[in-house]
Chain A
């Protein structure tokens, strides 16, 4: 199966943070959700993937080619959303359209303007007067209006109300109906990722903790609530993380390593994230 992108043994060291041996890849036609705490390395990984940040070691490929060797034609097929609208504050929609239609050969003005009107973005208003939600909608419109095959979205839905988020998730799902299209999206809104992602990748302190089929994650793990004595008797290799209160212990466990009757719940992606970073005592 062809890969949309492939990151192998990526290392990048900064003064007080480092990406360590990050391995991440996505076959074409799928959506990968990228979760992690602030500062865990999501944006750095994406930056290295897109060639904005130069890796210390490792290989980064998009559509099978090293990022540094991507041609203009290759870049036409990549759509990106990062924080902030990358145009001067006095620009309007029309200005952005004018610039980008002279940059991308595959720019679809009609699609861009109709998306913007669907999102109720005012044509004559300057970006500096846009709300956070409007900026996010604008960024997404820009990203998909040049027929990309890979979308890389860094917190593209933050600041949006649930109704608009739902609309955007719909657009993203329609996007991947073409099996040559793929999406890598990072988000703190784990419920969004649960809705549409095929894979979930979790990064913590610069290292990938897991990359799994979203459904398998929820089949493999369970959140159990136990009395302290019960917890003490558990096979600790089955426990991913645990939360201690004065009354009980809540733990994320591997279902097949646990026997006996416990109050078990299906874990949400957020649960998995939170328990993964908690210590196992």
Chain B
């Protein structure tokens, strides 16, 4: 499991971890039932405090991404990944609808819009 903490980001560390684990789950790199490293061993490997990893795991559990089984550890939970993916798709759709609206207002064609999208992906 690859998690990289950026010291220069404005995002708090617990949020970075939370988001990276969410992304791994969404990309199916972490599958339902997979066990997550214990909060303490994650803290140890990333050189951060247990408080931070605990907070990250608590947020993930609150959002339904993981479950804690007493005595056994934390595991990826299935259900919410689908729901959140749908949420994300809805969010993207909303933003794209807005982009199309603006394009319509200033006579930008669908082809130009598609070109912009391709260019963005190339830059990444």
**A contacts B: CB pair < 8 Å:** yes
Residue contact B44 to A173, C-beta cutoff 8 Å: yes
Q: Which residues of A contact B12 (CB under 8 A)?
A: 215-216, 219
A275 within 8 A of B: no
Give B37-67 interface residues, CB cut-off 8 Å to A: 38, 40-41, 43-44, 47-52
Residue in chain A with minimal CB distance to B44: A173
B72 at the interface (CB under 8 A from A): no
- Say how far B87's CB is from chain A's closest CB, in angstroms: 27
Chain B residue with minimal CB distance to A266? B7
Q: Which of these, B38, B40, B49, contacts A215 with CB under 8 Å?
A: B49
Say which residue of B8, B14, B41, B51 sits within 8 Å of A198 (CB atoms). B51
Q: Is the CB of A213 within 8 A of B52?
A: yes
Q: A215, A216, A219: which has the most chain B beta carbons within 10 Å?
A: A215
Contact in complex: B51, A30 (CB < 8 Å): yes
Q: Which of A179, A199, A215 contacts B48 (CB 8 A)?
A: A215
- Are B8's CB and A266's CB within 8 A? yes
- Determine if A219 and B8 form an interchain contact, defined as CB atoms under 8 angstroms apart: no
| Cross-interface CB contact of B51 among A176, A196, A213, cutoff 8 Å | A213
Question: How far is B41's CA from A176's CA once the two chains are assembled, in angstroms?
Answer: 10
> Does B13 reach chain A (CB closer than 8 Å)?
yes
The closest CB in chain B to the CB of A174 belongs to B44
Which residues, 162 to 214 on A, are CB-close (under 8 Å) to B? 173, 176-177, 179, 194-199, 213-214
A148 within 8 Å of B by Cβ? Answer: no
Considering only CB atoms and an 8 Å cut-off, how many residues of chain B contact the other chain?
16
In the assembled complex, which residues on chain A have CB atoms less than 8 Å from the CB atom of B14? 215
Interface of B (DSSP majority class) = helix
A29 within 8 A of partner (CB): yes
Q: Do residues A177 and B38 form an inter-chain contact, with CB atoms below 8 A? A: yes
The distance in angstroms between the C-alpha atoms of A214 and B46, with both chains bound, is: 13
* Contact yes or no, A199 B51, CB < 8 A: yes
Give the Cβ gap from A190 to chain B, nearest Cβ, in Å: 14
With a CB–CB cut-off of 8 A, which chain A residues contact B43?
198
| Complex Cα–Cα for A214 and B55 (A) | 14
The CA-CA distance from A161 to B45 in the complex, in Å, is: 22
Contacts of A29 in B (CB 8 A): 40, 50
- Given known A-B contacts A179-B40, A196-B44, A219 and B13 have beta carbons under 8 A apart: yes
- The distance in angstroms between the C-alpha atoms of A266 and B10, with both chains bound, is 11
Return chain B residues, CB-CB under 8 Å to A199. 49, 51
User: Using Cβ atoms and an 8 Å threshold, which residues of chain B touch A176?
Assistant: 40, 50
For B8, list chain A residues within 8 Å (CB).
266
What are the residues of chain A within 8 A of B44 when measuring CB–CB? 173, 196
Smallest CB gap from B47: residue in A: A195
- Mask, A246-281, CB within 8 Å of B = 1, is 000000000000000000001000000000000000
Q: Which residue of A lies closest to B41 (CB)?
A: A177
A31→B51 CA distance, assembly (Å): 10
User: Which residues from chain B contact A215 at a C-beta distance below 8 Å?
Assistant: 12-14, 48-49, 51-52
11 contacts between A and B (CB under 8 A): A30-B50, A30-B51, A31-B50, A177-B38, A179-B40, A194-B47, A197-B49, A213-B49, A213-B52, A215-B48, A215-B49
Since A214-B48, A215-B51, A219-B13 are in contact, a sample of 15 more A-B pairs with Cβ atoms closer than 8 Å, ordered by chain A residue number, is A29-B40, A176-B50, A195-B47, A198-B49, A198-B50, A213-B51, A213-B52, A214-B49, A215-B49, A215-B52, A216-B51, A218-B7, A219-B12, A266-B7, A266-B8
The 7 A-B residue pairs with the shortest CB-CB distance in the complex, in nearest-first order:
A198-B49, A213-B51, A215-B52, A198-B50, A214-B49, A173-B44, A215-B13
